[in-house]
Structure 1
Amino acid sequence: MDDKTVVKSGSADGTGDSAANCPKRVLFEDALTLAKFGRFNYALIAIAGTVLAAVMLEMLSISYVIAVAECDLELTSGQKGILGAMALAGTIAGSHLWGFLADTLGRRKVIIPTLLMTNAVSFASSMMTNFWMITICRFLTGFFICGASASIYAYLGEFHNQRDRSRAIMAASFVHSIGCPLLPGLAYIIINQSWAFTIPILDIVYRPWRLFLVICGLPGFISALALLKFPESPKFDLNQGNVKRATETIQWMHRFNSGNAESPLQIQLILGEAEVQPSRDHFKGAKAVLELIWNQTAPLFKRPYLHKTILMCFLQFGTYITAHGMFMFFPGLLDQLVKAQEAGIDRITMCDIVYAHNPLEASGQPICTQSLSLATYGYSITLDIIYVLGFLVIGLLINAVGRLAILVFVFTGCGACGVLAVLVDIPLLSMWLYIMMMMSGFTVSVVSAVTVDLFPTSLRAMAVGISLMCGRIGGVFGTNLAGLLLDSQCELTFGITCSILLLCSVLSFFIPNINKKVQPESS
């Protein structure tokens, strides 16, 4: 076959003829298909899932620490709220920068350093002795971890053709969900221990919660080391004009997947879409950097991408209001429901229980709690197990039923469960409906997968980063909304969050090409 022949999607199925007979010039999507789906993909999915689990551990571990470190850090109620939201504030501050760097320097060059820096700052936060020091550390933890959080979706997606992309991202989310029970499990094993010792040189009492923060940082460190063995995204290299390295990466993928059992993949050139990627040669001076950031961001807020950007941002915003904002009050509210049951109260609404509970101490001083009840951990683990099973089901069904069906079902179901949770007067039923409302977090990965498909390679990481930044703004909004209103306007709090979820369900119908059948994209 002539070297100028370009293979179309239909012929590049990776079956039939041996790899040695492959045409020398193929489209990028077809090259990924020829490389096949195998051990490389499974390994990358496992690592990406571990990165997402690391993000979860870094973001949510502080919720357990706040409850048991209030005396060590001399925390007031207001300071607890600030500390709980600080990691999210850090991700908001860093999302734009890391999205820009991932689109200009490379996905891998952002993911690995940010994971290592997160681990270092997380370790430092475990040694802090007062509110302001640990607050700064948690802000930096969020600032660095968001670099890996946004970039890993684009990095993973660009090693897969469009047919497998959504499934790969959902598979990584399933791996992440397996790690979710680790958080309450580790908290129960570590935090509930009673040992303590003094480190004179640092003038701190080292308690289990400090070790807990260190352990929660290990998955990110391990993921960074694992990614040292993996190449840069071939799609990124291709759009940077580095055709040789992109070709070598796909050939390496093929060798990894085939185990050298097949002839080497004979391709010399990969043709990609005509996208202009910012050049690192112009990455000089503060003004030039700001211009590059603007040039990388501005297209997302202009036609033809403006409506897509706004839509993806709002869907993430609405998801995080419930999945993160309301989650911060999950253990405490469930504890109140459990206590109502144990007291023999069979008929009472959840909001009546909230109104009957007065969390304020007359002295204004925190109660020195060094451990949490077993029931709190038990229900947290139950929630995480449901997440594991849910991500598994979604990963298996997403190609068959489509992303629209998943989004509408989750948004509508979670919104309805939230409304019912405050209406029913059976504490046990209210508790399970509240747990079901927390399942709105399923849509974060689905919306991210949709975002990857909606934007070109040159804008992809930035688009995912900005949408997740808006999601985190929603998390901060939801946390403060619940903190301000839950004790006095419980029904209104749930009404606002559930209405936003139902609105997200309606808006899902307006996602461009959401009903389009997934097939290899033309490169």
Structure 2
Amino acid sequence: MFMSNRYILRNLTFSCTHLDKNIPNSSHGRYNYGLLITCFVLIIAMGIDIFGLGIIVTAATCDLDLTLSQIGILSSMSFAGIIVMSYPWGYLSDTRGRKLVLMWAMGGSFISSVISSLSPTWQVLAALRFISSALSSAAESATYALIGECCGTRVRAKYMLLITSALMITPALYYITAFLIMKLNFSIPLLGITYRPWRLLTLIMALPLGLSALLLWFYSESPKFLANVGRNEEAVQVLKRIYVANGHDGDKFPVKQIYLEDGNKEEVGVFSLHSLWTQIAPLFKPPLLWKTALLYYLTFVTYIANNSFAIILPTIFNIFFTSYATSAADASFCDLFHLTNTTAIDDQPEVSVCKNTIEDNTIWAGCAHGMSFFVLNAIISQCAGRRKPLTIIILVIAAAAGAGINNTGDAFLKISLSLHMTHMFFNT
């Protein structure tokens, strides 16, 4: 509300377009739509960078001569990066700013991902992908904060749903990209390595990271963050810029000063490890200690069971479709990994020929996985009001699917249980 030409940021979820209460609804416009598209690209870029590593590893298995243990280590780098940087990114976003953190993080992730396409060994690739995912994971929290603080309550829920849906379509995007790129057949000596299609695929999958960092340059910092750290004049200028960008006359902008109401200002300390610990420490002390331990355990179980499948799902698909219609098709799930590899043997038994490709059915199965995840998530979201029983049911179904994977001889049942397990865990 306006009081003596001053605008009050009323609560922690206030956003710039709360101006809609006092300014015509047309104040929501081009700026907000553009920021929505930018945040959509941010989430897609993060999803491709983190989850797309699985398809890169599958494509590079032959060229880098990867063993199963090396595939596992390399595939885990994405989630290792997330674990290491989850707290720091939230802290930096609250103290340094949403836009600033996102621009630097996505720009750095883009550079690391591009360089990884030239990796001479799997160890170098693992290190660079760890850095890339650690940086791009900033989008997981800062993106939602930025869009939430720059749109009004009338559209905020819809915008958040749209941003969340971006993550669901990423599997289809990187599987289709892999389908097109891996159809190419070239081998170019370059800088001591052999440049093959999987390296081009890695480069192309890095482009959304750079694009998202570039798009952010055209938008302002969250006015809520600026007001919270005492930069009120800058916050007013941001509000005015949004007002003008949405088609209004800047001379008629009515806001002259803003402030946070007492009790609604977040404490932002001096940037230091001590202030970071001050924010985290209460989670590990009574009365929050038990709930923290419980949530950590549930997260640990979900991540260790789901991500071990999700990140190497392209490898699982490729092994399955390579072994299907052979005597190995009836082998147990674990035996398939020992009996099959993505290399092909030509007519001379002692000469191994690297295929450098991915089975077409692997691509279609990946697209179907992404689409079915989207549908299942939409169905489960209708029951979101009963979160506790829903979570229990999901975990029980996922556990049953996981237990059954290695205890069935039916080939399609094996792959169906794998998909069902990842679907259930993703929706927890």
| TM-score interval, normalised by the smaller of the two chains | 0.7 to 0.9
Q: Secondary structure at the match of 1:404?
A: coil
Sort the Cα spacing of 1:301 and 1:275 in 2 relative to 1 into closer, same or farther, 3 A: farther
Task: Give the 5 Å matches for 1:492-511.
Answer: none
Change (3 A) 1:265 1:300: farther
With over 3 angstroms needed to count, the CA separation of the structure-2 counterparts of 1:2 and 1:335, relative to structure 1, is closer
Counterpart pick for 1:112 among 88, 96, 103: 103
1:268-290, CA deviations, whole angstroms, 9 ceiling, x for partnerless residues?
324344434334xx44xxxxx22
In 1, Cα distance between equivalents of 2:340 and 2:410 = 28
The 2-side partners of 1:439 and 1:340 are apart by 24
Q: Which residue of 1 aligns with 2:207?
A: 218
Aligned-partner residue type, residue 3 of structure 1: M
Any idea what SS the aligned residue of 1:209 has?
Answer: helix
Q: Quote the Cα distance in structure 2 between the aligned partners of 1:75 and 1:224.
A: 33
Alpha-carbon distance between aligned partners in 2 of 1:415 and 1:261, rounded to the nearest angstrom:
58
Provide the rounded CA distance (Å) in 2 between the counterparts of 1:309 and 1:275: 25
Q: Which moved more, 1:57-66 or 1:110-119?
A: 57-66
Structure 1 residue ranges without an equivalent (≥5): 5-21, 284-288, 444-500, 502-523
Matched, 1:260 2:248: yes
Please name the residue that 1:205 is paired with.
194
Matches within 5 A, 1:469-484: none
- In the other structure, the counterpart of 1:419 is 400
Distance 1:101 1:76, change over 3 A: same
Residue equivalent to 1:56: 47
- The aligned amino acid for 2:393 is T
Find the counterpart in structure 1 of residue 332 from structure 2.
353
1:436 aligns with 2:420: yes
Determine the structure 2 residue equivalent to 1:246: 235
CA shift at 1:442, angstroms? 4.8
Aligned equivalent of 1:294, options 270, 277, 284: 277
Alignment of 1:139 with 2:130, yes or no, is yes
What is residue 191 of structure 1 aligned with on the other side? 182
Q: Distance in 2 between matches of 1:238 and 1:141?
A: 31
Aligned counterparts of 1:387 and 1:265: Cα–Cα separation in 2: 46
Q: Unaligned stretches of 5+ in structure 2?
A: 342-348
1:138-167: CA deviation from partner (whole Å, max 9, x where unpaired):
221122222333322322333345675454
Report if aligned partners of 1:122, 1:137 keep a CA contact under 8 Å in 2.
Answer: yes
Measure the CA separation in 1 of the matches of 2:399 and 2:352. Answer: 31
1:237 aligns with 2:226: yes
- For residue 112 of structure 1, report the CA deviation from its aligned partner: 0.4
After superposition, what is the alpha-carbon deviation per residue over 1:231-287, rounded to whole angstroms, capped at 9, x for unaligned?
112221121122233333334434444x328963546324344434334xx44xxxx
Q: Is the 8 A contact 2:314 2:362 kept in 1?
A: yes
* CA positional deviation for 1:126: 0.8
Q: Which residue is equivalent to 1:380? A: 366
| Distance in 2 of aligned mates of 1:402 and 1:376 | 32
**Partners in 2 of 1:366 and 1:293 — Cα distance?**
53
Q: Name the amino acid aligned to 1:205.
A: T
1:340–1:427: 8 Å Cα contact kept in structure 2? Answer: no
1:244, 1:135 → 2: CA distance? 45
Is contact 1:104–1:277 with CA below 8 Å preserved after alignment? no
Percent of residue pairs bearing the same amino acid type: 25
Across the aligned residues of Structure 1 and Structure 2, the Cα RMSD in angstroms comes to: 3.8
Count of paired positions: 407
**Residue aligning to 1:507:** none
Cα deviation, residue 227, structure 1: 0.8
TM-aligned CA distance change 1:167 to 1:310, over 3 Å: farther
The residue identity in structure 1 corresponding to 2:3 is: D
1:70 paired with 2:53, answer no
Please state if 1:227 is matched with 2:216: yes
Letter in 2 for 1:109: L
**Which of the numbers 128, 135, 141 marks the counterpart of 1:150?**
141
Distance 1:203 1:341 in 2: 37
The answer as to whether partners of 2:68 and 2:337 remain within 8 angstroms in 1 is no
Matched position secondary structure for 2:361: helix
Within 1, Cα distance between the matches of 2:337 and 2:6? Answer: 73
Q: TM-score, normalised by structure 1?
A: 0.67
Deviations 1:93-135, CA, capped at 9 Å, x for gaps: 2223322222211121111011111111111111111233222
Q: CA deviation at 1:293?
A: 2.1
Per the alignment, do residues 122 and 420 of structure 1 end up closer, same or farther by CA in structure 2, a change over 3 Å counting? closer
- Partners of 2:6 and 2:259 within 8 A in 1: no
In structure 2, do the counterparts of structure 1 residues 153 and 322 end up closer, same or farther at CA, with 3 Å as the change threshold? Answer: farther
